Every structure is written in C-alpha cells, then in structure tokens.
Amino acid sequence: MRHIKLGSFDIYQLNGGKFALDGGAMFGVVPKAIWEKLISPDEKNRIPMAVHPLLVKTQKAVYLIDIGIGKNWDSKFKEIYDVYEEDLFSNLDVGPEDVDYIIATHLHFDHMAGYINYNFKKAKVIVQKMEWQDANFPHLRSRASYIKERIEPLSERIILIEGDYKLDDGIYLILTGGHTRGHQIVLIERFDKGIIFMADLVPTVHHINYPYIMGYDLYPVDTLYARYRIYSMISKYNYLMAFEHDREAKVGYLKFENDKPKLELI
C-alpha cells in the first residue's frame, strides 16, 4: 500500500487482488515480439497483473475509486485468471463502513466485483449511466466482463451520472469512453497539484505509448483520442498519474521525448 499526501488529502493505493490476463489481448495490435520485452508472459501467455484502487480521505468524506476483483471466486475462475484474493482494507485505519462514496470507473469484474465482499453501510456508488445500461444488458463481446450477481446488488446504492462530473472536495470524473462506452477516469486536485487515476485508459505503465491499446477495448479509436486529450491536460498541469493494473502499485509523471510519451516513476 502506498500513501500519497496531496494538500489536506490522504490518498492510498490499495491492493484489490492479483490476477493474470492474456498478454496478446492486453496489448492489442502490438506484436508479442515487442510487448514481451516489457513484461514476460507465463506458459499460458498470461501476464501478471493486479488491481490498485484508490482510497481518498478528505476533510468531508471518504471516497473509494474502484474496489477490485473481490473474493470467494470458484476454482475454475481462479484457474483461468490465476486469481490471488486480497483484503482491500488490510493495514488501513478505515473500513468499508467509513466509505461515503464508491466511484466506479466501470463495472468489469476486476474493478467492481469486490463490492459484495464488504459491508459498505452507507456508501453510494457513482457510475456513468451508459456503463450501468451496458453492464445490465451486455452483448456477446462484453458479457464475460460483467458478472450479473456481482452487479445487481449495486442497484440499491447507485447514483447515475452522464458525462464529466464534478464532486465536492476537488474530485472530478472525466468520461473517456474507449474501453467501454461509460469508462471514466478520476482527477483528484488540491490547489496547484493533482493526481489522475488512469483506470483502463492506460492500465499499466507499459501501455503509456499511444497505440498500446488493449484488445479488450470495445472502442479502441476512442481510447486513442482520449489519450491525446488527457495527456495534453496532464502535461499542462504536471499531474501525477496513478496506474491500476501493474502487479506492484505505480505512480509517475508524464514526460515527452521527441513527441513520444514517457514515464518518470516515483
């Protein structure tokens, strides 16, 4: 777990489970001869990944951005995705009962399936309306990513939004689309500093190059255009980038060399 101080905000990169996905699917059109130099696959061609939700404590509220893959999966699921379950709130001085708002970047199982494993007594779940619609009525290509029995319980706590959305305390939701129609990222800003939680717009540090877009993205060209737009904003304001899916929690600053994006990890 990494702790980041941003003005009066306390931000924690949590551990929401480890898993593995097919490397070819994770890098889309990028040939294996290139991506395997960045991260080595196992004998099943899977690359090691994890989920690192953010917990943000402000003076007014506690926000949880994504929840992670969750617990109590059956043996078949664990075998397919090489799942290692973790307690999201381990070694933290707050528990699920303290969370006021859960921000779902989207509703895929690796991001929000953990909701049913914790007793969120008061938390409201904020999600894009398009994402909620697509999660409840998935098509053949997307349905494997949405687990019905882990999505339905959200209905009692849901707050649906449309487009970019400003929350109190300097927390902004930015609709990017691309990975899904309703995929969003989160900007946490305090005075002249900020952190952007990249979610699946840039899932790992190895995906920082513009065309390194997942085969899982339903609208890859939208992902590409969103990266140009968000990178421009990050560069202008020198925001810190927080990544969700590296095996170890990663944050870094965006730099450019000959117009190519690079990362300066901290």
Residue 108 sits in a domain whose CATH number is 3.60.15.10
DSSP code of residue 50? E
Residue 78 binned pLDDT confidence (cut-offs 50, 70, 90):
very high
CA–CA dist 17, 84 (Å, integer): 6
Domain that holds residue 60: 2-265
Average pLDDT of the segment spanning 191-216:
97
Identify the three-state secondary structure at position 27.
helix
Q: Count the domains in the chain.
A: 1
> What pLDDT shows up at residue 60?
92
pLDDT at 223 over 90: yes
C-alpha separations of 26 from 142, 188, 207, 263 in Å: 15, 27, 9, 19
